[in-house]
Structures are given as C-alpha cells and as structure tokens.
Amino acid sequence: MQYVTLGKTGLNVSSAGLGCGGHSRLGQAYGNSTAQSIAIIHAAMDMGVNFIDTATAYGTEPIVGEAIKGRRDEVIISTKRTIFQQGASPTGNELLTGAEFITGVEDNLKLLGTDHIDILHLHGVFANQYDHCVQELVPALHQLQDQGKIRFLGVTERFIRDTNHTMLSRALEDDVWDVVMTGFNMINPSARHTVLPKTQEKNTGTLIMFAVRRALSDPDATAEIISELISAGLIDPSDLDTENPFSFLLAPNCASTVTEAAYRFCRHEPGAHVVLTGTGSLEHLKENLEVLQMPALPTEAQDKLRNIFGNVDSVSGN
C-alpha cells in the first residue's frame, strides 16, 4: 500500500480509502450480512488501508465500530453528519444549531465505539447553506475539538447536485477546513480547475469520491450518460466510439477494465490524497486496491480523456 500525507493534518494515510457509503454501503445495500461487511473492512485493513470513510446517513457506523474493536489505533476514521433538521429538505435552510449538532456527534462516537473521531465532516453541504455552517456550526466543531472528541474539520459537497463545485469553491476561500471531499472522475474532471488548485495552495487534505460510481462500473449507465452528454452538445460524438466509448482505454498498454482506468485516473491527479473506493465485494476490493497502486494512465490516454471530457461539469456519474 502507498501512503501519503493528508495535507495540513499531517496524518499518514493510505492513498486508497474504504468508502462505507455510496450505492454499496459495504454491500448492505444489496443484502450483505453485518459479518460480510465487517469482513470487507478487515480485508481492507489487512491489505494496508488505514483510511475509513463513513457517515451517520449511511447506517454503516456501527459496522465500522464493530470492525475496529481492538484495532482503533490502526485506522483514521472519517465520518460525517448532515446539517439539516430531521425531516427537513436537505437543500433548504432549516438547519441545525451548533448545540443540536454537538449533541448529535455523541451518537457518532457511540455508534463508532470510539472516544474520538479523526475527521468530522459537515455532510453534503450546498452553497446556500454554507454561511450558516461557518457562523453556527464551525464554532461547535471547535468546541468538540477542544474537548478532544474530534481532531480535524472537514466538509463534503453534494456532487450529484453541485457538479461544478459551487460550495467547495466558496469553502476554500476560508482557512477553516483541514479536509474536503470532492467529486472527481473521468467524465467530470472539473475539480481540476476549481477545487484542486485551491486545496494544493492551502495544503487542504483532499478526498476523492465518485471515482467510479455507476457511470464507470455499469455499461448501461455509461451508455446513458454518454448519450446525455452528446445530446447536450457537451461532448463531440466524433471523438469516441459511441457504442464502446472507453474502448481506447482498453488497449494492451493501458488498462484492463474501465473501472481500473477510472481509479487510476483519480489516483494520480495532482492534489488528490485519498481515493475512496466503495464496495461490498471482496473480489472488487482486492482488484481496486491493486489498481490504485498502479502507475498513471499513459499520457495519450490522459490527453484523449482531457480532449473529450475536459469541459464537462454538469454530470456526476451517479
């Protein structure tokens, strides 16, 4: 496993992180037992992964808590809490007070079975909610930090709706965040122009999500998204084989699968510290951890991807 320094946190983290959310939620989304999900976490740890990302909203914190019993010191725990009132719209302005947020964090600690969280993120923040975060929730996070309950402050964007990184562009003007999580992938690499230059300038720890998602792991989803981008005039159909749009990546000197290419694409992007991989399958986990240690894609493949998708910022690949 390769390790990197997570920006200003100074944490030494594996460049591949285990994502416990997404469409799989460690396989909980499609029927894995708790024991099977724990086995995924243990396999990842045994292969050198020391970065685990979860959230209250995923329902996987208790599984992570169970998996790290007796092994807490081996892992960096990144978890998140949503910022809106229960039952309110995630996009709206019915947001938690600092005191309510602090009370909620006790649940994260309990579910994870730990007395401290390494990185606590405000989960899926929209730009219209950002001022409230700074005014009301950041002081609460500092209070939690002073109490030793959290070590570092993070914020994650809602990439499905905020595909051009409006919230993070704003957040990175401030010196508040130790870590951010951004969507970035072969079909929407726009963080390269917005988020990543700023994180590098500020030495902000940077986590990559949506490396693969559906668009780069399911051929039907790939076909759908490519045709959407062509119809919207965002990519030129003459630049790729519309029947098999990523065939150019599957050359002998390039990648064996689109998924492999997708993870390698993210892994070597300047400014990307940890690439999260989400899976409920031991086989996929092993494959993904292996490909995340492989070299960058050949320059010609990277150039072609830049030429085709370089200006796309309106899809997430969800």
Ligand X SMILES: NC(=O)c1ccc[n+]([C@@H]2O[C@H](COP(=O)([O-])OP(=O)(O)OC[C@H]3O[C@@H](n4cnc5c(N)ncnc54)[C@H](OP(=O)(O)O)[C@@H]3O)[C@@H](O)[C@H]2O)c1
Nearer to ligand X, 271 or 280 (CB): 280
Q: How far is the CB of 205 from ligand X (least distance, A)?
A: 14
Q: How far is the CB of 201 from ligand X (least distance, A)?
A: 23
Nearer to ligand X, 126 or 235 (CB): 126
Give the number of C-alpha atoms closer than 13 A to the C-alpha of residue 111, restricted to the C-beta side. Answer: 20
**In whole angstroms, what is the distance from residue 75 CA to residue 24 CA?**
21
Nearer to ligand X, 239 or 286 (CB): 286
The residue of the chain with the least Cβ separation from ligand X equals 278
Helix (H, G, I), strand (E, B) or coil at 53: strand
User: Which one-letter DSSP state was computed for residue 298?
Assistant: P
Reading the block at residue 274, the tokens are 């940890």
Q: Give Cα 252 distance to the centre of its chain.
A: 29
CA end-to-end span of the chain, whole Å? 28
**In whole angstroms, what is the distance from residue 308 CA to residue 310 CA?**
6
In DSSP terms, which residues pair with 194 in a beta bridge? Answer: none
**CB neighbours (10 Å) of residue 317?**
24
Nearer to ligand X, 111 or 209 (CB): 209
Q: How far is the CB of 23 from ligand X (least distance, A)?
A: 4
Cα angle: 245, vertex 264, 300; to 5 degrees: 60
By the criterion CB under 6 A, which residues form the site for ligand X? 19-24, 27, 53, 80, 123-124, 156, 158, 181, 209-213, 217, 259, 276-281, 284, 287-288
Nearer to ligand X, 67 or 209 (CB): 209
Q: How far is the CB of 181 from ligand X (least distance, A)?
A: 5
Nearer to ligand X, 132 or 213 (CB): 213
Contact 316, 210 (CB under 8 A): yes
The closest of 38, 314, 297 to 162, measured between CA atoms, is: 314
